[in-house]
Structure 1
């Protein structure tokens, strides 16, 4: 048992060791914001364009999808760097 505790403590001290719960939750939060913010920006721009051009949801839907896709791509790249 003592050896297991020592091994775990040693892994935590090493770079890239076992991440803490707070670090894991922080990463999840960053991923959420990286996806949601571009989607909301696309939604806002699409709504603004549709309001100005009186075009229903012609711009809102594609820009929302584009923003979500951009956010997912950004999150994917961030995960690869981690």
Structure 2
């Protein structure tokens, strides 16, 4: 028996509704132009690279001030890559 209050039923109906909306939008608008796809790829690259480089340079500067090692460089580089990944993920979510 199926339970009418089953949360999987809500997930399934939501998934079907989103797919139908996407299909209707595709039929109405057609495929996205290649230039727009390339622009998105370029923007995603910059969204990851810029925070990573900012973290790298800030970390090198802090390590020089602190007297050596790569503690701040590694930590801020990692933070920059994570921030860039989050920004790219958020940007992709806007395209849907």
Cα offset, 1:12, TM superposition: 8.1
SS of the residue corresponding to residue 32 of structure 2 reads coil
- What CA deviation, in whole Å up to 9, does each residue of 1:11-52 have, x standing for no partner? 6872xx311111111000000000000000000100000011
SS of the residue corresponding to residue 18 of structure 1 reads coil
Counterpart in the other structure of 1:65: 78
1:40 aligns with one of 30, 53, 74: 53
2 CA distance for matches of 1:35 and 1:22? 20
Residue correspondences, number: 70
Q: Which has the higher contact order (CA 8 A, sep 6+)?
A: 1
2 CA distance for matches of 1:55 and 1:74? 31
User: Where does the alignment leave 5 or more consecutive residues of structure 1 unmatched?
Assistant: 1-10
Give the TM-score normalised by the residue count of structure 2.
0.68
User: Where does the alignment leave 5 or more consecutive residues of structure 2 unmatched?
Assistant: 1-25
Larger radius of gyration: 2
Give the RMSD, CA atoms, in angstroms: 1.5
Residue 56 (1) aligns with residue 69 (2): yes
Counterpart in the other structure of 1:8: none
Give the TM-score normalised by the residue count of structure 1.
0.79
